[in-house]
Structure 1
């Protein structure tokens, strides 16, 4: 079981009129509270060990008063991992590989704003895969069906530190950089998202694994 708290800060978002003139700056932040539970099953020949998981999330939106709101949703997931994998092409290099399927927002209550507007959570199916080399470098690819593609790399120079970089394509190319610090059951992650059409986004999360 794991718990985490996330903060997304978009900084100052420009509010403009129909002519593009700057009228004001709007603060926009999201706060997320997540709780997840996973169960590990048996081993599938060749593929590896399978696990299933469920995660609940609560999102609180803070901006100008009429736009404040909140909503909740549930995700379901399936993960298959193969530890200490070796192949004829990558002898002693490939330390782990895996794949997964996530159905996001399969159950949800809509995002509800102070002005009475309600917004449904989009139902998404995500298929992903990962390759880990030498126990230090991990390559990841996620495909959100009909929506976007995500590619990332993580380097773990020492056990407690992870350095990450990635690119997400959702109509435009969105790069990101970040790092994670882990000590015992606690993890802190920090990331910067460089959207070409929006201000820089800062993401911070705290996690507890039980």
Structure 2
């Protein structure tokens, strides 16, 4: 199971979270986010994959930030079109497309993105485009029958282990952690995070 820790910015905290066992680390390239990364941090992870999170950014902005941050994946967290995904894919980028569902009938929106995305990320519907600290009804995902693997996001916190132990889906590939482990925006509680990752790995045996 992939453990992605999103909303990173401070160099020393990045080092600590990497040592805590994060597989992926998210850097938010959306100016309206309190976790926005305005410039390249003095330290970028080496062991953890680097994920850039964009919200309705234009093509040139995306490829510029991708180069600056030396990104491994692009996470598109807004209403980006399949055409943009196709263009980025043709450029050689690996993509994660985020979706928020209010009902099971909305799950089919993923279909037209399948040819271009390596992963999906399923998050809580909110105006802020993620980082809300709120969860959503995971039962909605029983309507997802695709083969594209997905990360589960939205309000996951130290108290979520029991709920995660009861969640099962053949395409489930990991979790996305953010505000549930913060002491301040873009600063993670490393001890809490390290303990949770250890328990989650025991829970999933992966």
> What TM-score, normalized by structure 2, do the two folds share?
0.32
Bigger helix share: 2
Bigger strand share: 1
Larger radius of gyration: 1
Which structure has more RCO (C-alpha within 8 Å, separation ≥ 6)? 2
